[in-house]
Structure formats: C-alpha cells, structure tokens
Amino acid sequence: MITPKKQLGQHWLNENTILLAIADAAEVRVGDFILEIGPGLGSLTRVLIDKGAKILAVELDESLAGGLKKQIGAGDNLTVISQDILKFDFSQLPTDYKIVANIPYYLSSHLLRLISETKNPPVQASLLLQKEVTERVCAKPGQMSTLSVTTQMYFEATPGMVVRAGLFTPPPKVDSQLLILNKREQPLFGNNDPKELFRLVKAGFGERRKKLRSSLSSGLYINKTQAEKLLNEARIDSNLRAQNLSLDDWLNLFKSWSATKS
C-alpha cells in the first residue's frame, strides 16, 4: 500500500465525477497534448487517457513515477518523468499544450508565477488549488494581490467548482477550488520583461497597509517625491493602496516607471 507523503503535499482525489469536471474545464479533446503535474496514483491521468489526450506527467516522487505508466498501460499516449516542475523546461512542449492537474498547496503560487513568466505558456489550464489561492488569483480591484495581477496579465482567470476537503485522501485542512486559465491572445503586458513587471508589482504590494507612494518608494528604492511623480504620470491617486489598482493602472504605472529608465 502506498502512503501519501505529507512533505510533498500529497492529497489524492479519486471521485470520478470531479476528475471528469477537471478535465472538461480544460476542454480536453482527442489528440490534445496535456502536461499533468503531480499525477500521484494516476486517477486523473486515466481520465485524460480515456479522452484520447497525449500526456506528459511530471511527478517529483520517484516511487510513484516509476510504476505509473505500467499501472495505467497507456502505451505511447503517456510519458512519465520524475522531476521538480519548478525546474522543468517548458520550451520543450508544443505551443498549444494544456495543463491539467491537482496541485499540491505548497506549489501553487510558485507554479502560477512560472507559467506566467515562461515564453511558452499553456493555452489553457485547469488547476485544482487551495480555495483561498483560487479566490486570490481571480480577485477584482479592491482585493487584488501580486498573484492576481501577474496571473491576470497573461490569462483570463475564472473560478470553478469547490471540492470539499473530505473527498481527498488524506483530507487537507481546507477545501479546494478549480482555477480555469485561458491564455490571452496578446498578453496585456505585451512583450515586456515579465520579471520587471513582477518587480514593480511586488514593490507596490510590499507594504500593503501603506499608500502607494510609500510602498513604491520603499520597494523601488526611490524617494517619495519620485514615487508621487510616477503615480501622477500614470494618473493614479497616490493615496490609493496597491490592492485598489486595476490591470490598466498597473500597465500605466509600468510605462511611467520604464520611461524613467530609458
């Protein structure tokens, strides 16, 4: 009997109707190329195979990865590698790939930043995450965070169904919720360096309780007069806090900031 490893955040889901819903949220069809992250015992993998998809499953746990393909018997439609997804080379994937996965909670924020910054992002993703994380990603101005801004620059983010903790083995302490991502045809951020965007947004949210002029001053290592000027040029009230800004506000702020460095 295989025992879930707490240190790897393993919580297995075997409810077939929910597994089908996860796959359906990514509109998985015959011939689709799917990156599955953390397949575990292969319950979701089997659903994807039944839909006729070709799957690359990346599993950190070597003991699970070693026997997965033999257990499922999917032939050439399944490739399993044992690797840390945070070190994975996304450029090797076809440009129209999708991600379908039940994501360990500890990995969520790191993975979302990774697929936002990669030059080869998925066209669609259906990710089962901690409910709080899905809510953060899909937030609107007034409740925005670094995670919601940087993800929504590249993807249209939609919350899906809630999955109760009791349906997992072992049950986590909180419920999960599906996050559905659809790649924007053109990133709102254009072809600019995503790491520079992240730096600006991180600075804005660095001191959430403070007004933008203060948090930008601290995070960008500029004085408050310079921060005020950046905000004025972007037509943003310097008395606002970072969570109140829209995506357009962040884009305008980035343009103002970039202009000072050119």
Tens digits of residue pLDDT in 58-110: 988 887 777 787 777 657 899 999 999 999 999 999 999 999 999 888 889 99
pLDDT at 8: 44
Domain 194-261 CATH class label: mainly alpha
Give the start-to-end residue ranges of the domains of the chain. Answer: 6-183, 194-261
Decide if 6-183 and 194-261 have a common fold. Answer: no
Neighbour tally for 92: CB within 10 Å: 9
Tell me which CATH code domain 6-183 carries: 3.40.50.150
13: left (phi over 0), alpha (psi -120 to 50) or beta: beta
Fill in the amino acid letter for 76.
D
Residue 64 CA to its chain's centroid (Å): 24
Please report the pLDDT score of residue 73 as a whole number.
67
First to last CA, the chain: 61
The single-letter code of the amino acid at 190 is G
Q: What is the pLDDT of residue 131?
A: 96
Q: Which two tokens stand for residue 25?
A: 């949220």
Parts of the chain with a pLDDT under 70: 1-12, 73-74, 262
Its pTM stands at 0.90
Give pLDDT, residue 262.
63
Write down the H helix ranges in 118-223.
Answer: 131-137, 146-152, 194-204, 212-220
Please give the pLDDT value at position 12.
Answer: 61
7-22 pLDDT per residue, tens: 444 566 778 899 999 9
